[in-house]
Amino acid sequence: MSNSGNHSHSPGNYSLTEILSQPQCWSASLEDLQQTKILHSVAKRFARATEWLFIGCGSSYYVALSAAATMGRLTGLRSRALPASEVLLYPDVVRAGAGDCVPVLISRSGLTSEVVAAAGALKNRGIPTLAITCAADQPLGELASETILLARADEKSTVMTRSFSSMLLTLQALAAVIAGDSGFCDALSLMAQNVAPLLPTLSERLRAFIHSAPLPEDGQ
């Protein structure tokens, strides 16, 4: 078998490209959000909320954990993160807090089975929801009351990279808008230019680290 030297479909190629594209993706996504004013629309729609419940599966659940921490810190509102399966198994968790609760459904593809099922269950109960996704025209967006679409952050890789960071960045920006914290919004907008110079050498630095790392001794 000959080696043509074509690495366009080599393992990890999509992931590396998507990792390196994050600063551009953040800037483009924030620009889209500013032009559509979707974050202000969401903040106005759910202005009476006293609790935010972030829901996801797998990597999206980790987005939920970080988003909940930011929302609680900036707004002072009760904020929690739950795996979508718990919303399905224990429906009352959505009404556990006092006042209006806003479930935020997180899925890169808009197809995550448990998240979509949770969205459907909440819709059937008449509970307004917010979805955040990177794919248009998918079941999650159709079931949610309001959807934040980050089309520029969509990916081909199985592992989430720029979609993870872009969805988290957006939810943190939403928290800042709700809190009226313009300084935090400004800081988020500067992330792209601060990170961009660091990424081009990342792969080379990782390879150098891997090749220079000593092998573990026997028994360790």
Q: What is the pLDDT of residues 59-97, one digit of tens each?
A: 999 999 999 999 999 999 999 999 999 999 999 888 755
Q: How does residue 7 score in pLDDT terms, banded at 50, 70 and 90?
A: very low
Q: How far is CA 144 from CA 119, 125, 133, in A?
A: 6, 12, 11
Statement: residue 212 has pLDDT above 90? no
Query: Residue 7 and residue 120: Cα distance in Å, rounded?
Result: 42
* Other Cβ atoms within 10 Å of 64 Cβ, number: 27
- What confidence tens digit (pLDDT) does each residue in 23-52 have? 999 999 999 999 999 999 999 999 999 999
Banded model confidence at residue 1, pLDDT cuts 50, 70, 90:
very low
Residue 139 makes CB contacts below 8 A (sequence gap 6+) with 110, 111, 116, 119
Which of helix, strand or coil describes residue 11? coil
Going by pLDDT thresholds of 50, 70 and 90, the confidence category of residue 203 is: confident
Burial of 92 (0-12, 13-18, 19+ CB in 10 A): exposed
Q: Which is higher by pLDDT, 98 or 76? A: 76
Note the Cα 212 to chain centre separation in Å.
34
Give the separation between CA 126 and CA 123, rounded to whole angstroms.
5
Instruction: Give me the percent of the chain exceeding a pLDDT of 70.
Output: 89
Q: Is 112 left (phi over 0), alpha (psi -120 to 50) or beta?
A: beta
What pLDDT score was predicted for residue 214? 67
Give me the pLDDT at residue 78, please: 95
Q: What does the alpha-carbon distance between residue 104 and residue 11 come to, in Å, rounded to a whole number?
A: 33
Residue 51: how many other CB atoms lie within 10 Å = 20
- Give pLDDT, residue 69: 98
C-alpha distance across the termini of the chain, in Å = 39
Residue-level pLDDT at 17: 86
Asked whether the beta carbons of 103 and 94 are under 8 A apart, the reply is: yes
Q: Domains plus CATH for the chain?
A: 26-201 (3.40.50.10490)
Residue 209: closest CA among 199, 201, 220: 201
pLDDT at 137 over 80: yes
Separation between Cα atoms, residue 143 and residue 196, nearest integer Å: 36
Nearest alpha carbon to residue 52 among 171, 148, 168, 141: 171
What is the pLDDT at residue 2?
A: 38
102 three-class SS: strand
